Amino acid sequence: MNPSLSALGLKIVAVANQKGGVGKTMTALSLASGLAKRGQKVLAVDGDPQGDLSLFFGAETSGDAGGNGMAGGLGGLLAELSAGRSADLAGRIVRRVRRNLDLLAGPPRRLRSERSDAELRAAAPGFAAALQRAAANYDWVIVDCSPSDGALERLLLSACQAVLIPLEFQLFSIAGLQAMLDTVASCGSEAGREIRVHALIFTKAENRVGRVEDYRKLFSEFRLPIFEICKSEYLPRSVERSRTIWEGGPASYAARDYARVIDKAFLEVQP
């Protein structure tokens, strides 16, 4: 039996994979909103300059408004930290995007041209400290990462206690997964602590002629808990209407699958 995050006392969780389009944002959104629906107090952090999570909640990505990178959200926070100033998350959070759910909006699209890797590396310890302080007010902090493995992703991973890796059932996912695990391990050793890879989440799973079983066997060498989210039209359709899966398709198989992740990977109380 694998212990839940709650049993382990870990609450700052990154949803990350360097590969694009594997369901990171969908997973971060569904888990954050699902936990909030269960009465847990949740902070969702949009760590992706694409700003998909911010867009979903109708929040402006930071920096775009003022044009000087000093506005709210993650972009504003990183600008302060890069300038060597101490900074807090609290004043930059969009409150109550849903009941029990707050949002730290994403950095501006141009973040990578605005902030050098050296600046982001220098900002990393300050960011980790700020995220940890903010986490004291929440049951969970869920961080949606961008599909890359640069200084921004390392800053985000290093500030988290655990990582969930969404991926697709494909042979090609194996090499990508190994690279991701290496990145997490190297961020952990740099930060001087273990960052727990908590589970793999196979999104868009189609159980045709035992495929899921085949892939489970293939990925069992990684010795990580595996969850599946079925491929579901409800997910993209709900998102298009600015609805979470709990609002747009609460009785769907996808909702059932994400609820299982919440129960088993997050909340389960073990004796």
Ligand X SMILES: Nc1ncnc2c1ncn2[C@@H]1O[C@H](COP(=O)(O)OP(=O)(O)OP(=O)(O)O)[C@@H](O)[C@H]1O
Q: What is the closest distance, in whole angstroms, from the C-beta atom of residue 265 to ligand X in the complex?
A: 16
Could you tell which of ligand X, Mg ion, none binds residue 100, using a CB distance below 5 to 8 A set by kind? Answer: none
Measured between alpha carbons, how far is 90 from 63 in angstroms, rounded to an integer?
Answer: 17
Site for ligand X in 52-71 (CB under 6 A): 52
Site string for ligand X, 165-204 (x = CB under 6 A): --------------------------------------xx
- Residue 198 near residue 225 (C-beta atoms within 8 A): yes
Chain centroid to CA 249: how far? 21
Q: Residue 226: beta bridge partners? A: 200
3-state secondary structure of 208: coil
> Would you say 16 and 148 are in contact if contact means Cβ atoms under 8 Å apart?
no
- Whole-angstrom Cα distance, residue 49 to residue 82? 17
Q: Which does 102 bind (CB under 5 to 8 A by kind): Mg ion, ligand X, none?
A: none
Per CB under 6 A, does 24 bind ligand X?
yes
- Please name the residue that has the structure tokens 């398709």: 249
Q: Output 81 or 245, the one with its CB closest to ligand X.
A: 245
State in angstroms the smallest separation of the CB of 195 from ligand X: 19
CA atoms within 13 A on the CB side of 65: 12
Instruction: Give min distance, CB of 132 to Mg ion, in A.
Output: 24
> Could you tell me which stretch among 14-22, 82-90, 178-186, 191-199 binds ligand X (CB under 6 A)?
14-22
The residue ranges that bind ligand X (CB under 6 A) are 20-26, 48, 50, 52, 147, 203-204, 229, 231-232, 235-236, 239, 254
